[in-house]
A and B are shown apart, each in its own frame.
With several copies, the nearest count.
Chain A
Amino acid sequence: MNQPKASQHITQNEALVFERSQAGRRGYMLPALDVDETPLDELLPAELRRADDLEGVPELSEPDVVRHFTRISTWNYHIDLGMYPLGSCTMKYNSRLNEKVARIAGFANLHPLAPAEDAQGALEVMYELQQHLAEITGLPGVSLQPAAGAHGELTGVMMIRAFLDKRDGEGAGARRVMLIPDSAHGTNPASAHLSGFTVKTIRSTSEGLTDLEHLRELCAARDVAGLMLTNPNTCGIFERNIQEICRVVHDAGGLVYMDGANMNALVGVARPGDMGVDVIHLNLHKTFSTPHGGGGPGSGPCCSTAELEPFLPVPRVVRAEGEGGEASYALDSDRPDSIGRVKAFYGNFGMHLRALAYILTHGRQGLREATEAAVLNARFVAAGLRDTFDQPFTSPPMHEVLFTDKRQSRKGAHTLDIAKRLIDYGFHPMTIYFPLIVQGAMLIEPTESVGRAELQQFVDAMKEIAREAVEDPELVLNAPHTTRIGRLDEAAAARKPVLRWRPEEKAATA
């Protein structure tokens, strides 16, 4: 028998804030109004004012609020607790130092519309980060405006479109196909679509690489605007034909967009710009360790060739040398070829600060060291699990390694079950069922932030689960056993979605 779940333990049964609310409780205090009070009706006519007294909004004291969020926080797995090997997500150590940097009052209290001369520190931070990202990618044009990876994709793909429109004029209309490998992340086709492109899918080879022949075939149609490629790709394998791939696309008149989600395998080792890539987005919330925050904020800077630079979003952060040689920084919106703005203000500045702190803390050696350690960790896991789990591709993995449930599923234990059982061993599961091209995919990315002993524990847990799948399949199929709640019925949830609390709910669940 397993532990009773969501037990009588009060911290395990924390209700919703609305259910906890008690009329009359207060969790705040404001200074008394220090100006003469104007009768409300003089300020705003009644028909413009709320009449509902915000009914339903919770009323709680400060300790109620603190306990509520502290309690529910304990239901989360998190990086500071243990290994979080989500493939493609790069869940590395989130430095507390970077959090401190982002909270320095001179940054945190700075209004985005403050005159540039009074915001030189912030502009310098952005400029410097741009310079470092240009060096790391080998692509000199950088915009920090995009708020996440997908946003960076959208930006990059729109730049390709703008570039082609300018280069080809009317002729560009015939060039509206974006090629995307079947292993790509869903955001790639979605971003391409949003930019008005038609998506055509490129097959992967049995080696897990982009099929060059297929690419050549598709390029032959001359309607190709570009290619969106992830490298290392989502199977964790470096596209070793990358130069040839770029050549084919360029020869066909297209441009190459690289999805930089997997840059943790390359920083300091190889640069997309040197491979022939025209534009890339980076995920600062992956490679540069800005915290994922339970789903954001992210930051997805775009880096491009000099040729594409005029098309980057405005405003750009630029540097001017003063008379005395001192630098000053400015925002420049005078870029007639720019695709325009993709976001109000200048991007997720708080994340720029953290990423810059990451880069400066690592320094030139540390950045490369991190890449090596990340790839080595993946290789270590690969070696440890090779005999137990099916590996769809034989190429040596870069920073993440792909397995499948082929062997285990014969006995009924599928990827989902293995993932859930890992929870009982104290690990966050790997990414599952992605990339879509591999059945029962398990994509494991340890990152550089995990030590040898914990990696070995992970390998041991996976092997143990494989054994359990044979000897005691129910144990695996009903996992997890150590959590507050069991597997949730997601299908039912989607069939009759309840997306918010309503007073009726209260009665139903009390």
Chain B
Amino acid sequence: MRYIPNSPEERQEMLGSVGLDTADALFDSIPAEVRLARPLEVPEALSEIELLARFERTAARNAAARRPNFLGAGAYSHYSPTIVDALIQRSEFFTAYTPYQPEISQGTLQAIFEFQTLVCQLTGMDVANASMYDGSTAMAEAVLMAERVTRRSRVVVSSGVHPEYLKVAETYVAHAGIELVRAEVDEATGRTLAGDDVVDDKVAAFVVQSPNFFGGVEDLKAAAERAHAAGALLVVVVTESASLGLLRSPGECGADVVVAEGQSFGVPLSYGGPYVGLFATREKFARQLPGRLVGVAYDREGRRGFVLTLATREQHIRREKATSNICTNEGLIALAATIYMTALGRKGLQEVAAQCAQKAAHARRQIATLEGFALPHSAPVFNEFVVRAPAPAEEVLRRLASEHQVTGGLALSRYYAERPNDLLVCVTETNTRAEIDALVSGLRNVTAP
């Protein structure tokens, strides 16, 4: 096996040097009855040539990866500069462990410190952690944190939150004594409805996504006022982080916790993962944060460095009393996002966001003119919007794919049986005008009487 340095002969010699005859003897402490007496039923080893050919063939069966794509809904096709992937492939970064030994992990630690800062800047918050698994688990952790902070056990979640995020939260709170209550989305505007009847003084947090799952940009200031009036926290969820380059930051709007999916920051779609969860909050809640935190530290000669800090929140010290059970997070993806945010920088993040919004507006305008199509929601959008087709959305999309080689968006029936004809269309800076035109004319053709 070419990954194992010691050759069979060397291993035989080493066995001798530790006083054993056979490799089997290494496992003498395992009772014979539970030892596997046969080879694993796993295929014979493949060479590199065979392995690559095999995976290339398999990948070719993912037809969707080759088409112009208007799918968003929690995962976005943004452009990632070549340097992002090139830099994270330095073995200095990708093969290192969690930076437990700061003297030989300053590269990772400094990058995380930069990540934390960038997340704060974009979300408008005071502190951010070193990452969560993804946006969905970050939201679930925010719900748990709200309970810890407020000692209240009801959490109101907007129905405009990504349906999969909602499901994850349900799983996480199932045994935590937390009740999740929905705040409905207004059909006319596509924005969350939340009167004080819903967000009352039993509520730990009001969780709102913006732009919400239907693309609508929420009135976060109003949501913050509602939440704060009830003594609850406002938790803002962002699935499309590119929007932070254009939209008023949740922090400025009054959010107490911001959780986000960072995949938009230069991370490949990769069929859903690995992505990276962002988690930011106010200074006063820093010690309630889940996950790792990097802080500034100095050595004896006063040189600045970085260390993992406030570890007493964490499972390896606090065990069952920890703020979370998370250990391994999404370090390398957070690094990719850091490099992305740095390369795009102050101007680029704004330009990406502006292009998304402009192209989405263009597509939306075009689609609105199509016979039989409607835009059911009136709220302003960033780069996603719901289209109501004159035919079942699944069928429309299937024909778009097969007849026009375009992945036209998401059939909302996947999550909402009551929306058979709705599709969610997402446009980013990577969609050319020609692609948008193809989408529009494709929609026209496949719905022509």
Contact = CB atoms under 8 A, between A and B. Distances in A.
A58 interface: yes
Contacts of A89: 97
Contacts of A270: 27, 30, 34-36
A242 B34 CA distance: 9
Contacts of B5: 22, 25, 60-61, 63-64, 449-452, 454
B442 interface: no
A161 interface: yes
- Give the interface centre of A51, A113, A373, A501 by most chain B CB atoms within 10 Å: A113
A487 B65 contact: no
Given A59-B347, A62-B343, A109-B268, 9 more contacts: A17-B342, A50-B252, A57-B345, A75-B110, A350-B268, A350-B274, A395-B29, A452-B5, A488-B306
A189 B3 contact: no
A37 to B, nearest CB: 6
Interface residues of A, number: 215
A76 B274 contact: no
A60 B310 contact: no
Interface stretch (A95-103, A403-411, A461-469): A95-103
Contacts of B62: 106-107, 110, 114, 118-122
Interface string B63-102: 1111001010111010101110111111111111111111
A294 B332 contact: yes
A293 to B, nearest CB: 3
Contacts of A396: 28-29
Interface in B296-326: 296-301, 303-307, 309-312, 314-322, 324-326
B317 to A, nearest CB: 7
B444 interface: no
A498 interface: yes
Contacts of A197: 175
Interface stretch (B132-140, B148-156, B196-204, B368-376): B132-140
Contact of B175 (A108, A195, A343): A195
B171 interface: yes
Interface string B105-116: 111101111101
Interface string B121-155: 11010111011011111000000100000000000
Interface string A55-80: 11111111111101110111111111
Given A242-B34, A376-B18, A497 B310 contact: yes
B92 A186 contact: no
A319 to B, nearest CB: 14
B40 interface: yes
A475 interface: no
Interface string A109-148: 1111111011111101100000010011000000000011
Given A111-B77, A343-B133, A362-B1, A357 B55 contact: yes
B246 A50 contact: yes
A485 B2 CA distance: 33
A398 B30 CA distance: 10
A484 interface: yes
Given A49-B247, A190-B320, A339-B171, A296 B34 contact: no
A48 B380 contact: yes
Contact of A25 (B7, B252, B433): B7
B26 interface: yes
Contacts of B305: 485, 488
B35 A35 contact: no
B44 A363 contact: yes
A370 to B, nearest CB: 6
